[in-house]
Amino acid sequence: MMPQTTSYVRVLVVDDHELTRFTLKLALKRQSHIEVVGMASNGMEALRQMKKYRPDLVVLDLNMPVMDGWTFSRHAKQKYPGTKIVAYSSVEGGKEQIAADGAIIDAYCEKAESTERLLNVIEAIA
């Protein structure tokens, strides 16, 4: 019998609220197949983190200072097209905007949803 290899999903967490970043990190770290490789407070910082850590998936807020989630996603998809992006935001009409904007964001989860729902969204696209 061949030993089973474990596949990890390398995640970058991006949100301008420190408490949200750390809460997400704790929730994600509890999953045996998820490794949080970095955290950033805005899109510009996140692009630097992507170059350094090459995450498989990014969980990000859409409304952030310096560089918002929309702009970050366009840059990230150009440079790292295989990276999946989950918008985790409370922006009004976010899901509809994502649908209209094409494939720069792969999935959306409202911040008002449970952590379990976010984990399900991550599982679905990872």
Q: Domain for residue 80, yes or no?
A: yes
Q: Domain for residue 3, yes or no?
A: no
Q: Domain for residue 120, yes or no?
A: no
Provide the domain limits for residue 42: 9-113
Q: Tell me the mean pLDDT in the region 30-35.
A: 93
What is the pTM assigned to this prediction? 0.87
Q: Domain for residue 89, yes or no?
A: yes
Q: Among the listed ranges 33-37, 46-50, 78-82, 122-126, which one has the minimum average pLDDT value?
A: 122-126
Q: Total domain count for the chain?
A: 1
Which pLDDT value is given to residue 53? 96
What does DSSP say about strands 34-40 and 9-14: parallel, antiparallel, or unpaired? Answer: parallel
Please report, rounded to a whole number, the percentage of residues in the chain having pLDDT higher than 90.
66
Does residue 25 register a pLDDT over 60? yes
Q: Residue 49's pLDDT band (boundaries 50, 70, 90)?
A: very high
Q: Domain for residue 119, yes or no?
A: no
Find the CATH number of the domain harbouring 70: 3.40.50.2300
